[in-house]
Amino acid sequence: MTGLTHIGPDGRARMVDVGDKDVTERVAIAHGRVHMDPETLKLALGRDTKKGDPIAIAELAGIMAAKRTSDLIPLCHPLPLSSVNVEIEPDTEANTLVVTARVKTSGRTGVEMEALTAVSAACLTLYDMLKAVDKAMRIDAVELLEKTGGKSGDYRKTGT
C-alpha cells in the first residue's frame, strides 16, 4: 500500500500531517456531466421550473458543497478557500449539462476533493431539480481535469 498517505504503517486510516508542507497557491478544476432527454434540457435552459432556476441553484449548491468538503469526506482537511467557481453549460448535441468547478486556495494541501465535491453536488442538484420530468437522467464523467501547486507538482488530464 505504498503511496497511500491516508493509511498509516499499522494499516489504520489517518489524517495526513501537512504541518511541515509549504504554503503554496493551489488550484483544481473538475467536471461532470448530466445526460437527459432533449425536452428536459430545454426545460433546464429555460431556467424557470416550479422549483426555480435549476442551473443557478445547482451552481450555488456546488459552491456551498466545496466549502463543506471536510464535513463530507472523512480525512479531508478543512481549507480556507479563496475562490470557488461553478459553471454549468449545455452540450445540446449530447443532451447534456456540463458542470465545471474551479477551486483555489493558498495552503498546505490541495483542493482536488473540493472541486470534485462541488461538481458532484451540482450534478445531484440538477437531478433533484429536474427529476419530476426525467428520472432517467444519468450523471457521469466526474473527474479531475487539472491541478496546480504543491509538492507533487502539476497535473493535467490527457486524452479523453
Indicate the DSSP class of residue 51: T
Q: Which of 37, 53, 128, 134 is catalytic?
A: 128
Q: Is 128 a catalytic residue?
A: yes
- Closest by Cα among 154, 2, 128 to 61: 128
Is 76 part of any known ligand binding site?
A: yes
In terms of CATH, what superfamily is 24-149? Molybdopterin cofactor biosynthesis C (MoaC) domain (3.30.70.640)
What are the boundaries of each domain within the chain? 24-149
Is 81 annotated as contributing to ligand binding? no
DSSP code per residue over 103-117:
EEEEESS--HHHHHH
pLDDT per residue over 103-119, tens digit each? 999 999 999 999 999 99
pLDDT of 2 over the 60 cut = no
Record the pTM: 0.92
pLDDT greater than 90 at residue 33? yes
For range 31-45, the mean pLDDT: 98
Does the structure show a pLDDT above 70 at 1?
Answer: no
Contact between residue 33 and residue 88 where contact means Cβ atoms under 8 Å apart? no
